[in-house]
Amino acid sequence: SHDVADNDENPLFKPNDFKPVKPNEPLLANVRARNTQTLNGEWNYIVDQLGVGDASPLLRGGVGENASYGASELLEYKFTDAYQLQVPGDWNTQQDALFWYRGIVWYQRDFNYQPVTGERSHIYFGGANFAKDVYVNGTLVIRHEGGFTPFNTDVTDYLKPGNNSVVVKVNSMSGPAQIPTEYNDWMNYGGITRDVMLVQTPATVLRNYKVQLKNDSDNIVEGWVQLDGQQPQQQLVLTIPEAGIQQTIETDTNGYATFSFAADLSLWSPQSPKLYEVELSYGSHSISDQIGFRDITTEGEDILLNGESIFLRGISNHEESLIHPGRAHSQADAEAVISRLKELNANFIRLAHYPHNEYIVRAADKAGILVWSELPVYHNIDFKNPCTLASAKRQYSEMIDRDQNRAAVVLWSLGNETPESDARDAFFKSMAEHVIEQDDTRLLTAALLGFGGMEDVGKYIGKLLYAEDNAVAGMFINPDPVVIEITDPLGEFVDVLGYNEYLGWYLSGMLVDGMRAQGMEVTEAQVRELMLSEMIKFKIVSSFNKPLVISEFGAGAKKGRRGGKLDVWTEDYQVQVYKQQLTMLANSPALRGVSPWVLKDFRAPYRLNTDTQEYWNRKGLVSEQNEPKLVFEFLSDYYQKKAASM
């Protein structure tokens, strides 16, 4: 029976009681270099608000079956081309009626297929949010959870010559044990948001490979290959023609082999983002990739790229397109971001708060932009739940499987602003071990929650206010500048400390409330003015002896709104905050980078001020229409000077 009431936490997130025909398969990496047939385009859809579309008497075998019964037979669902959505794309920005919709939508399309004897066919999804059941010609072949990582499976046995049908049940709701949960400061765009394709491969397929520079070296290339199929034991040849490399690799009975060889390479860096053509061939098959080689390490408070200390001139961004409404999903979307980064004189992007599509990561590789990638372990998730941890590890592996050959990706972030607890620490320790075991050629980080030292900031500002009208308190007028110490135990597990702080934004409001609660008569403008002017004396320290990246700071501004320098929501105030923040941050000896919040205004149902926000987070350097605010030029000038001084 279909009893949705038995899950009181989230009725729509009720697992079906049937299972796919086989377990999910590991990723087919570098999918666009393979023989593919796109399944992008128009898909039919059915909105299933109540989640009744799985098997039930009225629906016969359920919507996934996409059955065609005779005209006189009763069947209470049907796909028609009167209801269509574009894939890739979120449903929210395609249909007004679906703008706020969270829940289940069934997608369907037909496609033509001609089998090639001796080859295999896989269905591949770049990403779809959040949970998916994929049916090929009526058979459930994949179940996948997680909105931002790719998944694929071999469907050779389920396809037939001629017309075929694929149905995907997409449920955009997640539950309290999922990653992420439903409570995030971004729009939960639902749908098949990334490319879908059929991939044709040889019977024995080179599923994935890693070819990267060994840690702490400038000329040793290391890696592995994974063949999968009837002939796992084979001889592969790896060539890098431009570097005169030709290596023979013998796989074992599991199709696996590691390798290591010396090569004279020009290393990848933002100044010179050199990518080499790398070809892997076996028998008559081959796949090529464009790969950069670089070494990223830390030494004390320095981040060393190819042995030299670097400063990350960055910006954070959501996967919100600069050139059309909704989620970004294309090469054109990626190029629009890169061109904004170039105008900013940036060399770094924080892809927040979940894995972004492959186009942007590859575009960064080509353009010489360093990348921070993260998983949506966001705020408070179910840290005690072993299933949640298992899901985090799986999603992390899926991101690494896809991006491990991208030199640009230098930071794996474990999560964002997670409140301290023992359960959280244990969760992150286990996740960190998992990530390092799979990939030790990148640095680990996490965006820590920046409230450490806030009490001191409050006391300091309070004293200044008090001194103004009380002569006895004159001794408080020049107290020592505030030192904010990062003490989060997560600092132990990471190589680079990420830290989010909003001294110029949230803190003023919070301080005013606190002071009023203690009976002080203050106005918010007084506190804000003091925060802005005093902030430049503060400094952020830690005893971890690790590099510090301020992974967020910012202020909201509505494009076109002008005012005095203390007026919130104006472009003028936003510039003031950037100016003071950047001056302040220069006091912190471990500072090795910043990625202010955020490149573009992004949709956020959290933001209820219908005068200024209208469900947009307004902290963008550019508006929702991609128009630069005043702060854009300010940051661009700052980065230009910073680059010149390095």
User: What residues line the site for ligand GCB (CB under 6 A)?
Assistant: 185, 353, 416-417, 500, 552, 597, 617, 619
Question: Residues 274, 294, 32, 190: is their CA dihedral positive or negative?
Answer: negative
The nearer residue to ligand GCB, 153 or 416, going by C-beta atoms, is: 416
Least separation, in Å, of the C-beta of 496 and ligand GCB? 17
Rounded-to-integer distance, Cα 56 and Cα 50, Å? 13
The nearer residue to ligand GCB, 547 or 620, going by C-beta atoms, is: 620
Pairs from 508-517 (Cβ < 8 Å, separation ≥ 24): 510/454, 511/457, 511/458, 511/461, 511/462, 514/458, 515/458, 515/462, 515/465
Rounded-to-integer distance, Cα 158 and Cα 360, Å? 33
Rounded-to-integer distance, Cα 620 and Cα 628, Å? 9
Least separation, in Å, of the C-beta of 595 and ligand GCB? 11
Least separation, in Å, of the C-beta of 552 and ligand GCB? 5
Rounded-to-integer distance, Cα 348 and Cα 369, Å? 5
The answer to whether the CB of 645 falls within 8 A of the CB of 345 is: no
Least separation, in Å, of the C-beta of 181 and ligand GCB? 13
Residue nearest to ligand GCB (CB): 185
Angle, vertex CA 56, rays to CA 54 and CA 65, nearest 5: 50
Length of the chain: 646
Least separation, in Å, of the C-beta of 75 and ligand GCB? 44
Least separation, in Å, of the C-beta of 503 and ligand GCB? 12
The answer to whether the CB of 543 falls within 8 A of the CB of 484 is: no
The nearer residue to ligand GCB, 546 or 619, going by C-beta atoms, is: 619
The nearer residue to ligand GCB, 345 or 612, going by C-beta atoms, is: 612
Least separation, in Å, of the C-beta of 575 and ligand GCB? 17
The nearer residue to ligand GCB, 14 or 619, going by C-beta atoms, is: 619
The answer to whether the CB of 259 falls within 8 A of the CB of 224 is: yes
Least separation, in Å, of the C-beta of 604 and ligand GCB? 7
Least separation, in Å, of the C-beta of 500 and ligand GCB? 4
Helix (H) or strand (E) holding 410: strand 409-416
Rounded-to-integer distance, Cα 468 and Cα 486, Å? 31
Q: How many CA atoms lie within 13 A of 294 on its CB side?
A: 30
The nearer residue to ligand GCB, 353 or 362, going by C-beta atoms, is: 353
Dihedral, 52, 194, 182, 604 alpha carbons, nearest 10: -120
- DSSP state letters, 374-405: E---BSS--TT-HHHHHHHHHHHHHHHHHHTT
The nearer residue to ligand GCB, 278 or 507, going by C-beta atoms, is: 507
The nearer residue to ligand GCB, 311 or 597, going by C-beta atoms, is: 597
Rounded-to-integer distance, Cα 574 and Cα 565, Å? 8
- Tokens 């948001």 locate to 193
246: number of Cβ within 10 Å: 12
What does each C-alpha distance from 382 to 174, 347, 388, 433, 622 come to in angstroms? 12, 35, 6, 19, 34
Least separation, in Å, of the C-beta of 498 and ligand GCB? 10
Least separation, in Å, of the C-beta of 623 and ligand GCB? 15
The answer to whether the CB of 499 falls within 8 A of the CB of 446 is: no
Least separation, in Å, of the C-beta of 72 and ligand GCB? 54
502: number of Cβ within 10 Å: 20
Beta strands in 205-324 (DSSP E): 205-213, 220-228, 235-240, 245-250, 256-262, 276-282, 285-291, 296-299, 302-305, 308-309, 312-317
The nearer residue to ligand GCB, 417 or 624, going by C-beta atoms, is: 417
The nearer residue to ligand GCB, 278 or 604, going by C-beta atoms, is: 604
The nearer residue to ligand GCB, 34 or 619, going by C-beta atoms, is: 619
Helix (H) or strand (E) holding 333: helix 331-343
Least separation, in Å, of the C-beta of 177 and ligand GCB? 21
Dihedral, 128, 327, 332, 369 alpha carbons, nearest 10: -90
The nearer residue to ligand GCB, 28 or 447, going by C-beta atoms, is: 447
End-to-end CA, the chain: 67
Give the tokens for residue 512: 């005013």
The nearer residue to ligand GCB, 151 or 372, going by C-beta atoms, is: 372
Least separation, in Å, of the C-beta of 504 and ligand GCB? 12
The nearer residue to ligand GCB, 363 or 599, going by C-beta atoms, is: 599
Q: One-letter amino acid identity for 459?
A: K
Comparing CA positions, the residue from 153, 163, 168, 155 lying closest to residue 110 is: 163
